[in-house]
Chain A
Amino acid sequence: MKIIVCIKQVPDTTEIKLDPVTGTLIRDGVPSIMNPDDKCGLEMALQLKDEFGAHVTVITMGPPQAELILREAYALGADRAIHLSDRKFAGADTLATSNAIAGALRQLDFDLVITGRQAIDGDTAQVGPQIAEHLDLPQVSYLEDIKFDGKNLFTMRRATEEGYQVLEAEAPVVVTVLSSGSKPRYMSVNGIVTAYQKEVETWNFDNISVAEEKLGLKGSPTKVFKSFTKSVKPAGEIFEGDAKEAVEVIVNKLKEKFII
């Protein structure tokens, strides 16, 4: 079995703080990480590798420094790493991003494509299904679990608001994976040592045969019109005192608002 895992390098958004004076993002010192959903997708692939001896290729699109997460994927157990990097890919929205990645996947052989459900910097959850559509392949998103019958059939558990669904599809299939689906393993010492000896293939525009007008900023139907940090609303009343007085203040507030 051949598996491709699409991964993305993202700023750790839980570490981002707002400058209280200017209201702008403080990005300095925010670490870059492998997107959590993608890392669990890689773990899912490695578990299939442990069980069925799959070959696992990781692919990422991003600037030169994104190579770091490919090295991390090698250290975790990936077999091949491809770095899609070209100025022509820059400024892409989800559709243009999916065009580039689908273009790369068309050059490869696979039974299963795994992406994270969503990246924590954008939270869109769109690129996985869009890749599936470009490749004319079935998709299952919000995946919590995947079983392979050893031949051709995947049985998948998809999370829903009320519980889950069980779905089946024959290979090849594209799935998007939730962080809750698996707990990523740790890098092995040997893995870390050899990760830097392995080759990361760099692919650019010439490798993917996708029309230039479908890529990057040019290929993006959506544009950012403006971005802003939320205006801070004027602070309400603050009460500091003992518990008994505090209760009175709350009760009075509820009465004032006709809640009680």
Chain B
Amino acid sequence: MFKDVYVFIEQREGVIQNVALELLGKARVLADTLNEKVVGILLGHNITDKAQDLIACGADKIICADDESLKDYVTEPYTQAITQIIKEKNPSAILIGATTIGRDLGPRISARVSTGLTADCTSLEVGENRDLLMTRPAFGGNVMATIVCQDHRPQMSTVRPGVMKAFEKDASRTGEVETITINFDKSKFRVRLVETVKETKDLVDITEANVLISGGRGVGNQEGFDKLKDLANVLDAEVSASRAMVDSGLINHDRQVGQTGKTVRPDLYFAMGISGAIQHLAGMEESELIIAINKDKDAPIFQTADLGIVGDIKAIVPMLTEALKK
């Protein structure tokens, strides 16, 4: 009997990643619908103390494997650990964050246990016959496809960071923590991690910003970009960008919003000089309030914006910054 919704709890250097909390939030909704449990899979070294917090974030149970081989993510030890858990526990579904770790791990596990894996989902629901309906963008974000995995278990999906809502933390929740030992076959550990290097200069994650000032082709140059920064300072916002600005070298790729960048859902999203290609919209259309400024009144961004201003950002942005300072 396959049951319960499992969540891979991604940690890096012992820090639980936000996407894991988002997945616990989604798993909570799915499990409540199915009348099943949410089980977190926590792999690492000296991480058992994180389990209680994960229960507060929506899990009913945490399965924890604490081993030196699991300290940093490497494909094979993690695959062996999760495969063992799948074989012992028979989960109905496993959700994994669609990060560089999750998208390496997910397909390896799915091939080992011969089940289906749906990549980079942006929506998960329970269907009529209790199967998961896993929806994801395809064709560069031009089409949405809902995928099912009817005859194989577990149903697996990687889920885009920033899309699902985390469960509101409730410290009074109680749950079970099970510690397990993984029977590793170390002869298969054939990849050695030599070093991990962090090189992101500014560590702000745009997916966590409440307000984003996003610039596109219309920003033009460094001067235009600096004006966005001025506005961002006044609004306590972060600056993000469409692909055009990243390609021009004005901003780092980690601040790109869209199909090949990040998915964001801030309270307020300013689209400045962004035409609104489908690839961009895929990354920001869930924002609470979207204000777009663009010279071209036919720009597709105006179809998605709650407020569209036909005008020149070069004139409007500095004036807006001044007005908001008051």
A186 interface hit (Cβ, 8 Å): no
Task: Report the stretch among A66-74, A136-144, A189-197, A198-206 that lies at the interface.
Answer: A136-144
Interface string of A165-190 (1 = CB under 8 A from B): 11111100100000000000000000
CA distance A226 to B145 in the complex (A): 6
B199 interface hit (Cβ, 8 Å): yes
CA distance A139 to B195 in the complex (A): 17
Count of chain A residues with Cβ under 8 Å from any Cβ of B?
79
> A250 touching B147 by the CB < 8 A rule?
no
CA distance A76 to B286 in the complex (A): 43
Interface string of B104-119 (1 = CB under 8 A from A): 1011101110111111
> A239 touching B310 by the CB < 8 A rule?
yes
B163 to chain A, nearest CB (A): 14
Query: For residue A94, which residues in chain B have a CB less than 8 angstroms away from its CB?
Result: 107, 117, 119
Query: For residue A247, which residues in chain B have a CB less than 8 angstroms away from its CB?
Result: 316, 319-320, 323
Count chain A CB atoms within 10 A of each CB in B111, B279, B311, B323 and give the residue with the most. Answer: B111
CA distance A129 to B107 in the complex (A): 6
User: CB within 8 A of B324: which of A162, A169, A251?
Assistant: A251
A222 interface hit (Cβ, 8 Å): yes
With both beta carbons as reference points, the residue of chain A lying nearest to B109 in the complex is identified as: A133
Count chain B CB atoms within 10 A of each CB in A134, A232, A235, A242 and give the residue with the most. Answer: A235
Query: For residue A163, which residues in chain B have a CB less than 8 angstroms away from its CB?
Result: 196-200
> A13 touching B142 by the CB < 8 A rule?
yes
> B140 touching A16 by the CB < 8 A rule?
yes
> A133 touching B143 by the CB < 8 A rule?
no
> B291 touching A253 by the CB < 8 A rule?
yes
Given contacts A126-B119, A129-B108, contact A166 B197 (CB under 8 A): yes
B200 to chain A, nearest CB (A): 5
> B116 touching A221 by the CB < 8 A rule?
yes
Count chain A CB atoms within 10 A of each CB in B100, B144, B203, B297 and give the residue with the most. Answer: B100
B267 interface hit (Cβ, 8 Å): yes
Query: For residue A134, which residues in chain B have a CB less than 8 angstroms away from its CB?
Result: 111
> B104 touching A141 by the CB < 8 A rule?
yes
Given contacts A139-B104, A164-B199, A221-B151, contact A227 B75 (CB under 8 A): no
B179 to chain A, nearest CB (A): 27
Query: For residue B150, which residues in chain A have a CB less than 8 angstroms away from its CB?
Result: 223
Q: 18 A-B residue contacts at CB 8 Å?
A: A121-B140, A125-B103, A133-B79, A138-B76, A142-B100, A162-B12, A163-B199, A165-B193, A173-B191, A221-B151, A222-B118, A222-B147, A223-B148, A228-B143, A235-B305, A236-B290, A238-B310, A246-B311
19 additional A-B pairs beyond A25-B139, A222-B117, A259-B268, beta carbons within 8 Å, are A93-B116, A121-B140, A123-B138, A123-B140, A125-B103, A126-B107, A138-B191, A139-B191, A162-B200, A164-B197, A169-B190, A221-B114, A225-B148, A235-B303, A237-B308, A238-B310, A243-B319, A254-B268, A259-B289
